[in-house]
Amino acid sequence: MNNNPGSLIDNSPMAWMQIIVVMMCILLNALDGFDVLSIAFASPGIAQEFEINRAVLGVVLSMELMGMAVGSVILGNVADKIGRRPIILFCLAVMAMGMYFASGAQSVNELSVHRFYTGLAIGGMLATTNAMVAEFSNRRHRSLCVMLMAGGYPLGVVIGGTIASGLLAHDSWRAIFEFGAIATISFFPLVWFLVPESVAYHTIQRGTDSLVRINSSLKKMGKEPIAALPDVTEKPKTSLLELFKPAMLRTTIVLTVAYFMHIMTLYFLLKWTPKIVVDMGYSASSAGGVLVWANLGMLTGSILFGLLSSRFATRNLMFVALVMSSIMIYVFGKGYSELDQLSAVACIAGFFINGGVVGLYALFADHYPDNLRASGTGFSIGLGRGGAAASPIIAGILFTAGYGLSLVATFMAFGSVVAAIVLVFLKARAFQR
């Protein structure tokens, strides 16, 4: 009898229970996508109501990204210690609270505080759902499932953005956050009843009831139970320090730097598109429509690159996506007087940019072992979100200094180029389940 539950999951077809967990994580990431971009949809109204310039708005746009950086690292590590499921539920509660209180903010400082702790929860959710999908997927479909999970992010922006554009046409920016709070809290009972703890977590923690819980999950997956937990010489460590020991150091550095640089390019497109469009003379609802097109391209990119990952090496696909991302951001910066032209360019740019993002999530799942998957993913995302937080601030400073869209976009496009260069140094996966 095979006593390695990870091996059983890796080498057998995916059951409905596994598919449901993956689908729920896709929807949770869609929720993250709307929560993060809600501030971008609301930014023109915020700037007008509080009478702030682009530099100050850039800081406001970055607050939840700063929170995500902290939350990814801290809560990702906590998820490796206490489990993925409780962290997901905790993050949902905090996100709902943050969106609700943001809707009633009476100052820029108050709004910034609410966006920061909302970002803490979003960061923890990203790290944890990535680990959950990797651990419920078999080896054949792991990269595809992780990429589809990451594709939930633009899905949330496309659906939520369409709703936000409608809300902005008849109400103030505050209605966007009210909608986000309701949507977020509605997911709590779904996760409670449909998402169990991962088998990999129970295998690592080896608690008194771990064997019973593992066999219960394996039964729901249609797999044979195990007679005993796998033999180990010592319990795998879940400390963040393990990421910086010789076996993991290069992987940690390469993935973190690549994510940091590419995400700078991504968030220039996502955070500044509404304000750029409004400054061209269009309405806030029209600006939201352009952002929806960018995220529609992102959604398509995640699906296509996910499907291609079953035929081509993920890292090779990444090089194509990263180089094309930089080219399309450069093209985006040329500026277009017609809204349909700008929407088309934003859509193509989003296609390649998110192809790179979902590829990085697949590399996280593939290169961090079970005991460090949430910690490693959280650390790379957390520090990488520093690039996300810096992106709108840097762009805002450049705009305020008088530089035009073309020069600012060219500068921000270099992030994806650097990410492609760094990935050359990523070594082959060094572990097996």
- In this predicted structure, the answer to whether residue 430 has a pLDDT above a threshold of 50 is no
Q: Is 414 exposed, middle or buried (0-12, 13-18, 19+ CB in 10 A)?
A: middle
Average pLDDT, the chain: 84
- Residue 106: predicted pLDDT: 87
Alpha helices of 195-313 — where are they, by DSSP H? 199-205, 210-220, 246-279, 284-308
Residue 430 lies in a domain: no
Amino acid identity at 156: G
Residue 378's nearest CA partner among 390, 368, 387 is 368
Write out the two tokens for 158.
């496309």
Question: What percentage of the chain reaches a pLDDT higher than 90?
Answer: 24
Distance of CA 125 to the CA centre of its chain: 9
Enclosing domain of residue 260: 5-425
Is 62 part of any domain? Answer: yes
pTM of this prediction exceeds 0.85:
no
Q: Give me the residue label for tokens 């700078």.
A: 264
Could you read off the pLDDT of 358-395 as tens digits, one per residue?
889 889 888 888 778 888 888 888 887 777 778 888 88
Tokens for 93?
A: 């509660």
Among the residue ranges 56-65, 89-98, 231-240, 330-339, the one predicted with the least confidence is 231-240
In a domain, 432, yes or no: no
Q: How far apart are the first and last CA of the chain?
A: 16
Q: Is residue 141 part of a domain?
A: yes
Which pLDDT value is given to residue 255? Answer: 93
In a domain, 12, yes or no: yes
Residue with tokens 């097996």: 432
**Residues 415 and 262 sit within 8 Å (Cβ to Cβ):** yes
**Is residue 433 one of the residues assigned to a domain?**
no
Over the stretch 194-235, which tens digit does the pLDDT of each residue have?
998 888 888 877 777 788 888 888 888 878 888 777 766 566
Judge whether 101 lies within some domain.
Answer: yes
**Alpha carbons 234 and 161: distance in angstroms, whole number:** 49
Q: How many domains does the chain have?
A: 1
Which tens digits make up the pLDDT trace of 15-55? 888 999 999 999 999 988 787 677 777 888 888 888 877 77
Residue 57 is predicted with a pLDDT of 80
Quickly list DSSP for 186-201: THHHHHHHH----HHH
357's tokens:
């993002």
Burial class (CB in 10 A: 0-12, 13-18, 19+), 311: exposed
Assign residue 195 the CATH number of its domain.
Answer: 1.20.1250.20
DSSP 16-60: HHHHHHHHHHHHHHHHHHHHHHHHHHHHHHHHHHHT--HHHHHHH
118: Cβ contacts below 8 Å, ≥ 6 apart? 35, 64, 67, 94, 95, 98, 99, 102
Q: Distance between CA 318 and CA 419 in Å, rounded?
A: 9
